[in-house]
């Protein structure tokens, strides 16, 4: 992809203002996955800049992201970008070495730098499904060659989260993450599917079939509930590998995660 031209000085940022809802620790599951899976790439990077795009009405998610990434990549730098100027002004007092805030949108203004990672959490929920591909393409074009875009959705307190990971070449994986103690069945996560998938959770679509099979595997693993929800989740995930291309293993499953190859869940065309 060809990177977009820099935004002219004074030009209006690209995108729309979000609700801005934010709570401390809301994105901890996504942060943990980013640090664990993308931490090595950040350590190798000569310029490990990470963007928290659309961080909301308070800067907590950016502050927490920096703290969590520093354990995996000590040189990581986080830039919070918000389209609403008042939110940027409110975040400025929280700046510290390695953490800054600036005004912008999907053009990701970084003075010519290419981010190693862009996290866009709860940003595209308000957009139409048909707009998602163009936003993904625009954000992926801003990435460093080995960069990653993480775009997804979570509930208000971060118990349930689903996100898509994309590289400059496009979408790669979908991750389902949950607080296992609060889970009734895996399809509970359907309400947190990213915009690209949430309207596709209907019969005939791959994501619907995956959640159906996950529920069946969860039910079959009920005897393991006596050992705890984690063992039940691990057992269900292991059985899914027979029919679905999971890209992670028990090390991530123990965290209440399951990651699937995007191609297996991509919406059908037409």
Assign residue 69 a region: left if phi > 0, alpha if psi is -120 to 50, beta otherwise? alpha
d(CA 90, CA 107): 21
Distance CA(9)–CA(186), nearest Å, equals: 47
Burial 8-43 (b: 16+ CB within 10 A, else e): eeeeebbbeebeeebeeebbbbbbbbbbbbbbebbe
Strand order in the sheet with 49-53: 99-103, 77-82, 49-53, 117-121, 148-154, 160-167, 170-178, 257-261
**What does pTM read for this prediction?**
0.93
Domains of the chain with bracketed CATH: 28-263 (3.40.50.150)
Per-residue pLDDT of the chain (270 residues; tens, 9 = 90+): 333 334 444 578 888 787 767 788 999 999 999 999 999 999 999 999 999 999 999 999 999 999 999 999 999 999 999 999 999 999 999 999 999 999 999 999 999 999 999 999 999 998 999 999 999 999 999 999 999 999 999 999 999 999 999 999 999 999 999 999 999 999 999 999 999 999 999 999 999 999 999 999 999 999 999 999 999 999 999 999 999 999 999 999 999 999 999 999 999 975
Please list, in sequence order, all residues whose beta carbon lies within 8 angstroms of the beta carbon of residue 142, skipping any fewer than 6 positions away.
3, 4, 107, 108, 110, 114, 115, 118
Q: Rounded to whole angstroms, how far apart are CA atoms 200 and 174?
A: 14
Centre a 10 Å sphere on the Cβ of residue 63 and count the other Cβ atoms it contains.
20
CB contact set of 26 (below 8 Å; sequence gap of 6+): 60, 61, 154, 156, 157, 158
């Amino acid at each position: 992809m060809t990177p977009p031209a820099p935004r002219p000085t004074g030009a209006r940022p690209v995108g729309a203002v979000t609700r801005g809802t934010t709570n401390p620790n809301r994105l901890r599951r996504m942060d943990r996955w980013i640090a664990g899976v993308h931490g090595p790439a950040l350590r190798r990077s000569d310029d490990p800049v990470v963007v928290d795009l659309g961080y909301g009405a308070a800067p907590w998610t950016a502050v927490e992201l920096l703290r969590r990434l520093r354990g995996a990549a000590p040189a990581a730098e986080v830039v919070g970008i918000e389209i609403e100027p008042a939110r940027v002004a409110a975040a400025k007092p929280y700046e510290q070495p390695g953490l800054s805030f600036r005004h912008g949108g999907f053009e990701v203004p970084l003075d010519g730098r290419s981010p190693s990672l862009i996290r866009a959490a709860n940003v595209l929920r308000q957009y139409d499904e048909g707009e998602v591909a163009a936003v993904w393409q625009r954000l992926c074009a801003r990435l460093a060659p080995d960069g990653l875009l993480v775009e997804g959705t979570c509930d208000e307190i971060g118990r349930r989260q689903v996100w898509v990971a994309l590289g400059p070449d496009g979408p790669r994986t979908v991750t389902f993450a949950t607080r296992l103690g609060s889970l009734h069945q895996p399809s509970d996560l359907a309400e947190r599917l990213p915009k690209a998938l949430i309207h596709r959770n209907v019969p005939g679509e791959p994501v619907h079939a995956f959640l159906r099979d996950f529920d069946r595997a969860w039910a079959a693993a009920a005897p393991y509930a006596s050992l705890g929800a984690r063992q039940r989740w691990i057992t269900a995930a292991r059985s899914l590998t027979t029919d679905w291309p999971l890209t992670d293993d028990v090390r991530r499953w123990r965290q209440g995660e399951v990651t699937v190859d995007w191609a297996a869940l991509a919406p059908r065309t037409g």
